[in-house]
Amino acid sequence: MTLKKGYKALIAEAEAKTKGISADQAQAALGDPNTLFVDIRDVRELERDGMIPGAFHAPRGMLEFWSDPESPYFKPQFEEKPGKRFVLYCAADWRAVLSAATLTEMGIQNVYHLEGGFGTWKKAGRPAAEKPAHKDKS
């Protein structure tokens, strides 16, 4: 099977439309109330590898629904406020680049992707936290 456009081309196009943030810049933003780190990896990856402290987990498959105020699945973490920025990350930055392009196309401002992803973050010895426990709704 020959695809019209493979994943490499999709990622290259998304990179041209988005803004990256280095791990140094991202670490400097840890604890900044105007920066929301958004982990789009699968829950199993979070359980296995941890996540950036304070990050919000938004699975890649729900991102468009959770970020759209018109969606019944909208999450308040995606409310836009002046000066707020979103830093998306995944394991190697492929999914985050695609996701950042999608959110930018949707009209969300100040969306960045973590260059090199969480893998690069951890290899550099940057902080990682355990996935927060799932809140029981009972």
Task: Give the homologous superfamily in CATH for domain 13-123.
Answer: Rhodanese-like domain (3.40.250.10)
In angstroms, the first-to-last Cα distance of the chain is 49
Going by their DSSP bridges, the two strands 35-39 and 19-21 should be labelled as: unpaired
Distance between CA atoms of residues 52 and 112, nearest Å: 15
Q: CA 116, 2, 64 angle in degrees (round to 5)?
A: 45
pLDDT in tens, the chain (138 residues): 889 999 999 999 999 999 999 999 999 999 999 999 999 999 999 999 999 999 999 999 999 999 999 999 999 999 989 999 999 999 999 999 999 999 999 999 999 999 999 999 999 999 899 887 766 554
Model pLDDT, residue 136: 54
- How much is the pTM? 0.92
CA atoms within 13 A on the CB side of 82: 0
Yes or no: say if 124 and 31 are a contact pair by the CB < 8 Å rule.
no
Domains of the chain, by residue range, sit at 13-123
Residue 50: count other Cβ atoms within 10 Å of its Cβ. 17
Q: Sign of the C-alpha dihedral, residues 87, 93, 99, 102?
A: positive
Distance between CA atoms of residues 52 and 69, nearest Å: 25
